[in-house]
Structure 1
Amino acid sequence: MDSARALSDARPTPFWLEDPGRPEALPALVGDTKCDLLVVGGGYSGLWTALIAKERDPSLDVVLIEGHEVGWAASGRNGGFCAASLTHGFGNGLQRWPGELGELERQGLANLQAMEDAIKKYGIDCEWERTGEIDVATQPHQLAELHEVAEAVAEYGLDLTVLDADQLRAEVDSPTFLGGIWDKEGVAMLHPAKLAWGLKAACVAQGVRVFERTRATDLSEYGSGMAVRTSYGRVYARRVALGTNVFPSLVKRVRPYIAPVYDYALMTEPLTEEQMAAIGWSRRQGLGDSANQFHYFRLSADNRILWGGYDAVYNFGGKVRAEYDQRPETFQTLARHFFQTFPQLEGVRFTNAWGGAIDTCTRFSAFFDTAYRGRVAYAAGFTGLGVGATRFGAEVMLDLLSGETTERTALEMVRHKPLPFPPEPIRWAGIEMTKWSLDRSDHNGGHRNLWLRTLDKMGLGFDS
């Protein structure tokens, strides 16, 4: 089948947001109000912050405002991979924080378990499956690199299952698979929009005042607290937590640290029993290949395949616009790669094709800090790994606002920020040069050219 033909009926909307259980938006804030804690942003970052704040102190008056609807952006359209890693994978963490990587891994696993416990506690039906994830090698050099990772993690007490080609294809069958490593405990699959909606319901049930379609436009000091101007009024708060991530921060000095990069995904129609038998996948793990320009793929609850990744598109000036959510040339590339990976699924059609912006920073994992003499906290830069790490970021923001020293705020990862991106046009040229070099590396046995080796020495290297 022509891969483009398989896209002919694909709707330009995220599959997850089409769910019939999507809740109605809550009313906007009209007029002025006061609170103890204002949370700006109704994605995972803001929702976890508001909910955990109420868990820590039920008497706290917490307000959450969202400019559109809860979960409409990255939190409702991501791939639904919820990883324990706080560092965007073991390799990135080993390069940046080798001395505290064991502690980061411990806290990451504890954070993932706390998420699972909260989902059970609040009865959030988000199709949570603790299946783990397999990193797949499709080139010989990737296989060698995965074996090196498996050996390295063992020194930190972590256990990854190494799979040869036959063992991997017994789990999920593709002629392109040469082997892989399976993290059985550190990743869960979920329905991302249902998680956001469930957290919204939990927040409301705990007494958080949630206002949707309430855009924050300005942040300023007001007495001993802060004032945030909104669409139809102001919120006066003792403390403010910013969970706006990819969107321009109300703390303007944060903006150079974030580059919005667009990621794209497809969703197939539900597979038949015969099609499922042709690929196996009975244990429903998440999968990702090991190229620099990588794909991620997983099964939905009704046995559709989500297939995403590969292209990461930065638009000059760092603009975030709705029209960038659709990119037909990327969708066609993804569809072609899908059928190369699963030729036995020829004839399958895609029902949805969508994209959206990810908040990337130069260390490829979140950073944290305060502003306005500790009255405002923020977490950003999750680089596509925010489904799990945003809960950790929420805890960090609340720790920072309380002024407490905790096991989280003691981390070097929390105490130091990454390098900011340079201004345009250097930013755009650097990102494009890096993308070109990573593609060359994928097609040249993993060899990293002078540009990538230079970035490695500067602490800016990334290989995933």
Structure 2
Amino acid sequence: MAVTPADPGPGPLWWDDAPAAASASRATASALPQVVDVAVVGGGYTGLWTAYYLLRERPGLDVLVLEAEHVGFGASGRNGGWVSALWPVSADTIARRHGRTAALAQLAALRDTVDEVGRVDAAEGLGGGFAKGGAVVVARTPAQEVRARAAAAHSAAWDDGTVWLDTAAARERVDVAATRGATYTPHCARVHPRHLVDGLAAAVRRLGGRVVEGCRVTRTADRVVVLEDGHRVSAGAVVHATEGWTPEVPGLSRRVAPVYSLMVATEPLDDERWSRIGLAGREVFADHGHLVIYGQRTDDGRIAFGGRGAPYHWGSAVRPEFDHDERVFAALRTTLRELLPQLDGIRFTHAWGGALGIARDWHPSVRWDPVTRTGWAGGYVGDGVAASNLAGRTLADLVLGRDTALTTLPWVGHRSPRWEPEPLRWLGVNAGLRLAGLADREELATGRPARLAGLLDLLTAH
């Protein structure tokens, strides 16, 4: 049954009940300090987690978070809400570079981070709606089944808890059409992204930090942060936490590529329909295709569903008009109805998008320069809800000069190569997105692993 989508509305589903007074913390330059202990550029998860742990570990520290729009304006308030221990770089790759012990430590830290987000959500009353139901990633074609079974078998070598579910067991979790089985990992939760980021900002303020919205930073150098209106703030340390907006920071235009991920949401579903779909344990779900998709069951009984496929824009541009691409929205609605025919007749009420940051080698990183006392974290490739918490804890330790288990993890100090200049960047990123879709179609037609997948791996170089 064809369904005409509703007007996507003014913004992400997650923003529907966001506080109307989000601009209350906006400040004029005259109200801002001239000197602080730590200045954090970016009011998303990375910046706020960094501020939170700094203040928790060192009460009384003068921490200033500067956000150009409102907290959670970027990926932190728009994402799919997966708090996952998934990582875009394989354990084998980490082990080749740093050794098996370091790779195991990184994986263990990621698993603990999922639980840490839940602990803080509960202890601080953040209101993030943390629910740890695990992740079900279904296999819907013979080629996807080959990859899924291999992933489950390989996970045993790394003790990451991922297992293969046969068709019946997979459908007990979520009854996806044409399911041949699924992988399941318990190390994943779901949250309401905007509630989590708003609650985190409130916690930072309760601890004595200043979170100031509507303050656009145009330049940082020599531990001085310069705002758009010319106001200057000197800091004992500066942390860059701009993720998809990083290319707009002078000198960082090729550190990450901002790639858009778009989402749609259904109207709330009734209990009868949920009984046919599943997700009773609040699992998140995806499939083993090459083009990334992801979904969750929301607190109010909707399905929020997203995926890649929107084009990369020339010069790493990030613009409000790029948040909407009706071609991609239509594809997402079609894909979700194919996955879950139980949705026949439902309305889609929201559609939105936003940019995430991808490093050239798909490797997230935390960096700290003890000489300039400048830090950065990002390049999460869409896995940043949990990784940003780990980054925040790590950056807090580094700023405070502490040598801990976190500061020795292999992603600390990793330096990804810079992205190619245009037009190579535009050609390469969009070719990769195109190849992912073509590889899925090839597998659907042939039933065999796509030959194009090898070319995709070469192009992405990770």
The answer to whether the superposition gives a TM-score over 0.5 is yes
Distance 1:230 1:297, change over 3 A: same
Match of 1:447 among 438, 450, 461: 450
Provide the residue aligned with 1:302 in structure 2: 300
Q: Tell me if structure 2 keeps the 8 A contact 1:359–1:382.
A: yes
1:452 maps to amino acid: L
Which residue in 1 is equivalent to 2:167? 165
**1: CA distance, partners of 2:95 / 2:150:** 12
TM-fit CA distance, 1:455: 4.3
Distance 1:453 1:343 in 2: 32
Kept in 2, the 8 Å contact 1:437–1:448? The answer is: no
The C-alpha deviation readout for 1:283-314, integer Å capped at 9, x for no partner, is 22000111110211110011100111041421
**SS state of the match for residue 265, structure 1?**
strand
In structure 2, C-alpha distance between the alignment counterparts of 1:97 and 1:23, rounded to whole Å:
47
Deviation at 1:278, TM superposition (A): 2.3
Structure 2 residue 371 is the aligned partner of structure 1 residue 373? yes
Deviates more, 1:372-381 or 1:249-258: 249-258
How far apart, in 1, do the equivalents of 2:225 and 2:330 lie?
47
Aligned partners of 2:98 and 2:145: how far apart in 1?
25
Q: Which residue of 1 aligns with 2:333?
A: 335
In the alignment, which residue of structure 1 is the partner of 2:27? Answer: 28
- CA displacement 1:116-161 (0-9 Å, x = unmatched): 2211221111111011111111111211211111122112223223
Q: 2:155 aligns with which of 150, 153, 156?
A: 153
- Percent of residue pairs identical: 30
> Residue type of the partner of 1:360?
I
Shift in alpha-carbon separation, 1:114–1:398, aligned structure 2, 3 A: same
Task: For residue 183 of structure 1, report the CA deviation from its aligned partner.
Answer: 0.7
Distance 1:282 1:22, change over 3 A: farther
**Does 81-90 or 175-184 show the bigger shift?**
81-90
Deviation at 1:89, TM superposition (A): 6.6
Conservation of the 8 A alpha-carbon contact between 1:219 and 1:250: no
Deviates more, 1:144-153 or 1:196-205: 144-153
Give the Cα separation in 2 of the matches to 1:454 and 1:416: 21
Secondary structure, aligned partner of 2:244: coil
Q: CA deviation at 1:173?
A: 1.2
Shift of 1:93: 5.5
For 1:2, the equivalent position in structure 2 comes to 2
Shift of 1:437: 2.7
Q: Deviations over 1:46-99 (max 9, x none)?
A: 100111111111021111111111112211111110112454676775787663
How many angstroms apart in 2 are the aligned matches of 1:277 and 1:85?
Answer: 28
Cα distance change of structure 1 residues 453 and 286 upon mapping to structure 2, 3 Å threshold = closer
Distance 1:267 1:132, change over 3 A: same
Structure 2 CA distance for aligned equivalents of residues 416 and 68 of structure 1: 29
Q: Which residue of 1 aligns with 2:188?
A: 187
Post-superposition Cα deviations, 1:253-273, rounded to whole Å, max 9, x if no partner, equal 432121111110000000012
Distance across 2 between alignment mates of 1:281 and 1:118: 24
1:257–1:421 contact (8 Å) kept in structure 2:
yes
Distance 1:405 1:249, change over 3 A: farther
Q: Does 2:106 match 1:108?
A: no
One-letter amino acid matched to 2:80: G
Contact persistence 1:396–1:409 (CA under 8 A): yes
2:124–2:203 contact (8 Å) kept in structure 1: yes
Shift of 1:169: 1.4
**Contact map agreement 1:23 1:197 (CA 8 A) in 2:** no
1:30 partner letter: A
* Alpha-carbon offset, residue 414 of structure 1: 1.6
Q: State the partner residue of 1:13.
A: 11
Q: Compared with structure 1, are the counterparts of its residues 412 and 284 closer, same or farther at alpha carbon in structure 2 (3 Å cutoff)?
A: closer
Q: Which residue pairs with 2:348 in the alignment?
A: 350
2:74–2:244 Cα contact (<8 Å) kept:
no
Instruction: Give distance in 1, aligned partners of 2:456 and 2:99.
Output: 20
CA 1:446/1:96 → structure 2, altered by over 3 Å: closer, same or farther?
Answer: farther
TM-aligned CA deviation for residue 376 of structure 1: 1.0
Deviations 1:85-115 (A, max 9, x none): 4546767757876633211111112222222
SS where residue 110 of structure 1 aligns? helix
Q: Distance in 2 between matches of 1:278 and 1:165?
A: 15
Q: Which residue of 2 aligns with 1:241?
A: 239
Measured in 1, the distance between the counterparts of 2:327 and 2:225 equals 44
Query: Does the aligned pair in 1 maintain the 2:257–2:359 contact within 8 Å?
Result: yes
- The equivalent residue for 2:414 is 416
Per-residue displacement from partner, 1:395-431 (whole Å, max 9, x unpaired)? 2323333444432332332222112111000111112
Counterpart mapping for 1:37-186 below 5 A:
37-87=38-88, 99=100, 100-184=102-186, 186=187
Once the two structures are superposed, residues 144-200 of structure 1 have per-residue CA deviations (whole angstroms, 9 ceiling, x without a partner) of 21111112211222322321112211221122321101112x111100000000001
Which is worse superposed, 226-235 or 154-163? 226-235
- Alignment match, 1:316: 314
Q: Distance in 2 between matches of 1:276 and 1:40?
A: 42
Indicate conservation of the 8 Å contact 2:60/2:208, yes or no. Answer: no
- Going from structure 1 to structure 2, the CA distance change for 1:87 and 1:217 (only over 3 Å counts) comes to same
**AA partner of residue 35 (structure 2):** K
**DSSP-derived class of the 1:235 partner:** strand
Tell me the equivalent position of 1:257: 255
Distance 1:67 1:394, change over 3 A: same
> Which residue in the other structure is 1:197 paired with?
198
CA distance in 2 between counterparts of 1:150 and 1:387 reads 23
Q: Say if 2:380 and 2:387, in contact at 8 Å, map to a contact too.
A: yes
CA distance in 2, matches of 1:69, 1:369: 25
TM-score, structure 2 length as denominator?
0.92
Cα pair distance change 1:282/1:152, threshold 3 Å: same
1:438–1:448 contact (8 Å) kept in structure 2: no
Aligned CA-pair RMSD: 2.2
Q: Kindly report which structure 2 residues correspond to 1:424-435, keeping only aligned pairs within 5 A, or say none.
A: 424-435=422-433
Q: Which letter does structure 2 place at the counterpart of 1:439?
A: G
Q: Give yes or no for contact 1:52–1:395 (8 Å, CA) kept in 2.
A: yes
Instruction: Quote how far apart the aligned CAs of 1:453 are.
Output: 5.2
Any idea what SS the aligned residue of 1:337 has?
helix
Q: Is the 8 A contact 1:22 1:197 kept in 2?
A: no
Q: How many residues align?
A: 452
Structure 2: gaps spanning 5 or more residues: none
Contact residue 364 and residue 383 of structure 1 kept, 8 A: yes
Distance 1:429 1:400 in 2: 37
